Amino acid sequence: MPKDHGIGASPKRREDVRFLSGTGNYTDDINVNGQAYVHFLRSDVAHGRIKTINTDAASAMPGVLKIFTGADFEGVGGIPCGWQVTDRHGEPMQEPAHPVLAQGKVRYVGDQIAAVVAETVEQARDAAEAIEVDLEELPAVVDMKAALADGATKVHDDLTSNLCYDWGFVEENKPAVDAAFEAAAHVTTLELRNNRLVANPMEPRVAIGDFNRGTGDSTLYTTSQNPHVIRLLMGAFVLGIPEHKLRVVAPDVGGGFGTKIFHYAEEAFCTFAAKALNRAVKWTSTRSEAFISDAHGRDHVTKIELALDADNNFTAIRTDTHANMGAYLSTFAPSVPTWLHGTLMAGNYKTPLIYVNVKAVFTNTVPVDAYRGAGRPEATYQLERVIDKAARELGVDPIALRRQNFITEFPYATPVAVEYDTGDYHGTMDALEKIADFSGFEARRKDSEARGKLRGLGVNCYIEACGIAPSNLVGQLGARAGLYESATVRVNATGGLVVMTGSHSHGQGHETSFPQVIAEMIGIDESMVEIEHGDTDKAPMGMGTYGSRSLAVGGSAMVRATEKIIAKTKKIAAHLLEAAEADIELKDGTFSVAGTDKSVAWGDVTLAAYVPHNYPLEDIEPGLEETAFYDPANFTYPSGAYACEVEVDPETGKVTIEAFSAADDFGNVVNPMIVDGQVHGGIGQGIGQALLENAAYDENGQLLSASYMDYAMPRASDVPYYNVDHSSQTPCTHNPLGVKGCGEAGAIGSPPAVVNAVVDALQSGGHKVDHVDMPVSPSRVWAAMNA
């Protein structure tokens, strides 16, 4: 019988009512009295030297308040990078300056040259067209390998080259890895590209800066996954505003997927300009602007090699990746191809020796940073593709080859510096076999063939590291921030609770799932709990929501704060019941004395805390509010096994997804409905990456797929219903809820399943195709079949 209450139940989402009735409060829905509007003049060339900017005519146009250029920001800090990677020689990465508005050069199509602030957005846009920019166009660097060639044009004149870093992991293991390849019975090699993507949350970014001259306080309303992080980065590094004079509000946010983690120049501009002009300044991105200003994702070019012994045991993995950074370092960009990628290269397998080399490269393209999964999809894709290729070369069943090499004992220390606390990879594969009906596949293939189609089945596993992350560990790895989370739990006099969390919900449903945890702990109804998030004036501090960390880290902070509340209420109850504190039990919202019929209700205890007439004032303070910061002891390690069935039309090369099944182990599950939804969405994005999406640049650095006319977003007709299962549950051993995180799994686990299935389909038709790069478009499939 499913639960209807607390942990494990699926109550309907409370946030839905406002979203379904048009009463949400997204950033663009906010208007501040007297606000002006900004339009950014963006570079239409990928690389150029700014000789002069003449704003005279534009400044005289109707409604224009001021036109800002790089000169106005010379005394202002640059956009900071939050992670410093150390290269294989022990040297820090090359880190270029990242100005709010271009200083001297533009480095990608979309780079901000000037900002026009006017009374209306139309006036600002019209005036921007009248700005005269004398710009000397320079050769653009687009291809990563060409960017590293001798004599290549440099994106940043003051750096020694376009190489951000050359990272080796684990460098000391390289000789042993190389020796294992020498000794291998079989080596499988695969070269592939993890295609560049645009995150495309449906809500474009928005920023509104406001300034109150009377108090000297600045406020920024922004579409962010982590408003406290923006407050810290922008306040401390860019504008020099201390936290107590800067409020950052991220209200209802329409999806993030990573690209709303980062601190963007537009946020700093609006906050700066509001003070300079003593007017609120609003910017709303168009979708076309989003394509050339939101940080992109992925864009790795990789060669992976897998060594096996004569019994098909994996003995070593060696990978060589070029990772595109774009023109500047976005907030977490350096960490994505390194610590979020190299550390996952063991996957679900007990490969004893692994070496990962990553060269991060500057190019004249939009900055690249975390997108749903961030490094882990890139690791999973190459590993699960090379295993599939190895199985085909060796003539063994790809599932059996995986099972043979599964890690089965936990905790397990990988050769890439992480320790998996728990998992059951045979368990998730067993679950997958049940829901994906492998036994019926041959009949389905025959049916497809009877209709002139090729059918393929692709299977893969994944593991990811979530719950990011232990602060002392990430500090050693170069993070310039801690990655704890905080929560304040305020209990009101009549017993209702408000949780102020540093996690941020932009679709994940925290307002529904977080109260389920409190309801379970206290034994009260979820309706007595309200979740506040997205405002730096409310929660004490917050590192925000990304890396599937909300429940594992933010939820744990909430649990710890609630435990403090419960401890205090037990003291109050003991006083009221004239009993020993140790004898007080809390169940179903009632405190009782063990072994007696004496009890007092939750609401009477909370009332006593605020009306302390009969209260142990000598021992405890009145009031009932507690804060906790939770810093995780380890990452969490969700895992799973995914299967995709495709049909390929041999006449056109068109691939259709006929079935998709996902068996995940997320540890304990608080709200199964929300977890299923997260997996569905991740799979949808993964299928999008595998079949449709590609941020394509031409050799001049022009983004060819820069609108929904050209960038193929997955539509409802591109995907099937999904079979999802999370019955295999090995709870996380080191957080109080035993949860692992589910936000990214679908996007990590699904692309290799799709491509494995396409290769399987093509080979079933007699085509000697062992790889097709994503997106597996009809033209690529057709070309592969007809090569």
Partner 1 sequence: MSHVSMTVNGKQMSGDAEGRTLLSQFLRETLGLTGTHVGCDTSQCGACVVHVDGVAVKSCTMLAMEADGADISTIEGQAAEDGTLNALQQAFQDHHGLQCGFCTPGMIMSAADLLKNNPTPTEAEVRHHLEGNICRCTGYHNIVKAIMAASGQDVSSIAAE
Name the site residues for partner 1 (rule: CB under 8 A): 12-13, 15-24, 26, 28-29, 122, 200-204, 252-255, 257, 286-288, 506-509, 672-674, 676-677, 680-685, 687, 707-709, 713-717, 719, 721-724, 746
Q: Which residues contact 613 (CB under 8 A, 6 or more apart)?
A: none
* Closer Cβ to partner 1, 448 or 512, answer by number: 512
Nearer to partner 1, 362 or 666 (CB): 666
Strands 197-198 and 296-297: antiparallel
Sign, CA torsion 475/464/732/529: positive
Let me know the angle formed at the C-alpha of 598 by 595 and 600, rounded to the nearest 5 degrees: 130
* Cα separation, 276 vs 20, whole angstroms: 39
Picking from 103, 42, 113, the residue whose alpha carbon sits closest to that of residue 74 is: 103
Residue that the structure tokens 């460098």 belong to: 171
Tell me the closest approach of the beta carbon of residue 512 to partner 1, in angstroms. 10
DSSP single-letter state for residue 523 = T
3-class state of residue 290 by DSSP = helix
> What is the CA 763 to chain-centroid distance, rounded?
35
Closer to partner 1 by CB, 140 or 370: give it.
370
Find the shortest distance in angstroms from Cβ 125 to partner 1.
10
Amino acid (one-letter) located at 418 = V
CB 348 within 8 A of CB 461: yes
Minimum distance, C-beta of residue 424 to partner 1, in the bound complex (Å): 22
- Rounded distance, CA 366 to CA 625, Å? 45
- Shortest distance (Å) from residue 292 CB to partner 1: 13
Tokens matching residue 275: 């003070």
Residue closer to partner 1 by CB (options 200, 756) is 200
Distance between CA atoms of residues 591 and 718, nearest Å: 54
Identify the sign of the CA torsion 229, 560, 570, 568.
Answer: negative
Nearer to partner 1, 23 or 614 (CB): 23
Least distance between partner 1 and beta carbon 720 (Å): 9
Of 68 and 257, the one with the shorter C-beta distance to partner 1 is 257
Beta strands in 576-671 (DSSP E): 584-587, 590-593, 599-601, 625-630, 639-648, 655-665
Q: Name which of 16 and 699 has its Cβ closer to partner 1.
A: 16
- State how far the Cα of 606 lies from the Cα of 502, in Å rounded to an integer: 25
CB 672, min distance to partner 1, A: 7
Nearer to partner 1, 259 or 315 (CB): 259
Between 83 and 257, whose beta carbon lies closer to partner 1? 257
Q: Are 271 and 199 in contact (CB under 8 A)?
A: no
Report in angstroms how near the CB of residue 258 gets to partner 1 at its nearest: 12
Instruction: Give CA–CA dist 520/514, Å, rounded.
Output: 10
Residue 95 CB, nearest distance to partner 1 (Å)?
Answer: 32
Short-list 747, 763, 606, CA closest to 681: 747
Q: Residue 260 or 279: which CB sits closer to partner 1? A: 260
What backbone phi and psi angles, to 5 degrees, belong to 184?
A: -70, 145
Considering the complex, what minimum distance in angstroms separates the CB of residue 683 from partner 1?
5
**DSSP letter at 84?**
-
User: Which is closer to partner 1, CB of 526 or CB of 625?
Assistant: 526
Distances (CA, A) of 747 to 199, 325, 372: 12, 21, 7
Q: How far is CA 182 from CA 177, 390, 763, in A?
A: 9, 17, 30
Of 24 and 478, which CB lies nearer to partner 1 in the complex structure?
Answer: 24
Q: Which is nearer to partner 1, 259 or 335 (CB)?
A: 259
User: Could you tell me the smallest distance in angstroms from the CB atom of residue 123 to partner 1?
Assistant: 11
How far is Cα of residue 539 from the mean position of the Cα atoms in its chain? 21
DSSP character string of 386-455: HHHHHHHHHT--HHHHHHHHB--SSSEE-TTS-EE----HHHHHHHHHHHHTGGGHHHHHHHHHHTT-EE
Smallest gap from Cβ 22 to partner 1, in A, equals 2
Q: How far apart are CA 6 and CA 699, in angstroms?
A: 55
Contact predicate 322/356, CB 8 Å: no
**Of residues 626 and 676, the one with the C-beta less far from partner 1:** 676
Rg, Å, the chain Cα set: 27
Q: Quickly count: other Cβ atoms within 10 Å of residue 282's Cβ.
A: 24
Which CB sits closer to partner 1, 15 or 424?
15
| Spatial contact of 418 and 619, defined as CB atoms under 8 Å apart | no
Helices 745-764/672-687 angle, 10° precision: 50
Q: Where are the alpha helices (DSSP H) in 499-592?
A: 510-522, 556-577
Q: How far, CA to CA in Å, does 582 sit from each of 303, 570, 573, 594?
A: 61, 9, 11, 9
CB 10 to partner 1: min, Å = 8
Q: Which is nearer to partner 1, 450 or 716 (CB)?
A: 716
Q: Which C-beta is closer to partner 1: that of 252 or that of 520? A: 252
Give the CA angle between residues 100, 106, 111 to the nearest 5°.
55
Q: Least separation, in Å, of the C-beta of 696 and partner 1?
A: 17
Q: Which is nearer to partner 1, 15 or 631 (CB)?
A: 15
